[in-house]
Structure 1
Amino acid sequence: MYLRRYILRDMDGVRLHRLGKRLIDLSRDVTTSAGDASLTSAEIAVIEDVLKNPGSPVSEIKVRTGFAQSHVSESVARLKGRGLIETFADPADRRRTRVRLSETARRAVLERAGRSADDVITRAIADRGRAERVSALLDELAELIL
């Protein structure tokens, strides 16, 4: 397999990190569009964390995202104000606030996640044939790693 030989021969930590960052940037281009509401990187991190861990307290979101508690709390307040997340009191400890995505945000995330990456990859590569090859390699990589 070409992909396997390439990774074993030429991939180092720095290159892998750069590739990961580039793929994240491309995935963000796929899942957002000019008409979408703009979110800060902290808000995106909070939404991603709450999507994966619904009903989490702010303190756990802080640990997983690496942001300061005040930063997470501010992001939660802004996202709540925009109707993207909901907060509720922990039934076991009413002083503790838990966070979940609103149904509107959940539907938007699922719709955006289903968008095809083909156009974004083609724009990034600028050669349709090579873009198709990149898409095929990414599909293979996803099967092998995920």
Structure 2
Amino acid sequence: MNGVELFLLGRTLMKIGEEALPTEGLGDQPTNVRTVLIVVSDVRAHPGSAIGEIASRTGLPQSAVSAAVARLREAGAIITEPDPRDRRRLLIQPAPAISGRVEQIRSTSIDATLAKVLDTDDPQRVAEVTALLEKLTRHLTPQALTRLRD
């Protein structure tokens, strides 16, 4: 495998993940799912960060980070609090408890989406691919990216 193949695999996996996420009841959203997931991943890796710091680390525009933070706060996935050193800034933390919406998202199976992508109705094949993805997930965590950047 080379870097291009890995990049394309990653992009394919992101698209499959986006498709598998439940969207019912959300209405129109100003931010896309990918941006929200990038922000939540960064917040989990760097709790207590300000919006500008998240934008700097992720390469996302500050306006996109602000919109994602608002969406995540509304969903109960994060909390914000004023920075005690500069009350104009908000510090973002993962929520101490998992909200109903976050629980719904985390508990939604990818099986139907994988079956569609794999063009199969064989549950054994879907389970096999799911097991491979779970193994990759254990090895390639979001925290692993910090080692890449060091």
Counterpart of 1:132 in structure 2 is: 127
Most deviating of 24-33 and 58-67: 24-33
Whether the 8 Å contact between 2:50 and 2:91 is mirrored in structure 1 is yes
Is the radius of gyration larger for structure 1 or structure 2?
A: 1
Residues 64-91 of structure 1: CA deviation (Å, up to 9, x unaligned): 2212334434x157538x7245532111
Corresponding residue number in structure 1 for 2:144? none
2:65 partner letter: V
Say whether 1:141 aligns with 2:141. Answer: no
Work out the number of aligned pairs and report it: 134
Cα–Cα, structure 1 residues 126 and 17, in superposed 2: closer, same or farther, change >3 Å? same
Residue 26 of structure 1 is matched in structure 2 by 16
Unaligned runs of 5+ in 1: 1-10
User: % of aligned pairs identical?
Assistant: 31
Supply the distance in 2 between the matched residues of 1:108 and 1:52 (Cα, whole angstroms): 21
Tell me if the contact between 1:30 and 1:112 (Cα under 8 Å) persists in the aligned partners. Answer: no
Partner of 1:16: 6
**In structure 2, distance between residues paired with 1:125 and 1:77:** 34
Show the counterpart of 1:83. Answer: 74
| Structure 1 residues 98 and 118: alpha-carbon distance in aligned structure 2, compared to 1, 3 A threshold | same
Paired residue for 2:91, among 80, 94, 98?
Answer: 98
Do the aligned partners of residues 141 and 43 (structure 1) sit closer, same or farther apart at CA in structure 2, a change above 3 Å counting?
closer
Tell me the TM-score normalized by structure 2: 0.66
8 A Cα contact 2:39 2:69, kept in partner: no
Shift of the 38–44 alpha-carbon distance from structure 1 to 2, 3 Å rule, reads farther
Q: Following the alignment from structure 2 to structure 1, what is the Cα–Cα distance between the partners of residues 102 and 69? A: 19
C-alpha distance in 2 between matches for 1:94 and 1:133: 51
Query: What is the root-mean-square deviation in Å for CA atoms of aligned residues?
Result: 3.1
Q: Is the 8 A contact 1:57 1:97 kept in 2?
A: yes
Taking the aligned partners of 2:84 and 2:4, their CA distance within structure 1 comes to 45
More helix by share: 1
TM-score of the superposed pair, with normalisation by structure 1: 0.68
Question: Please, which runs of 5 or more residues in structure 2 have no aligned partner?
Answer: 142-150
Residue by residue over 1:107-128, the C-alpha shift from the partner in whole angstroms, topping out at 9 and shown as x without a partner, is: 4223312322222111111222
Partners of 2:84 and 2:140 in 1: CA distance: 39
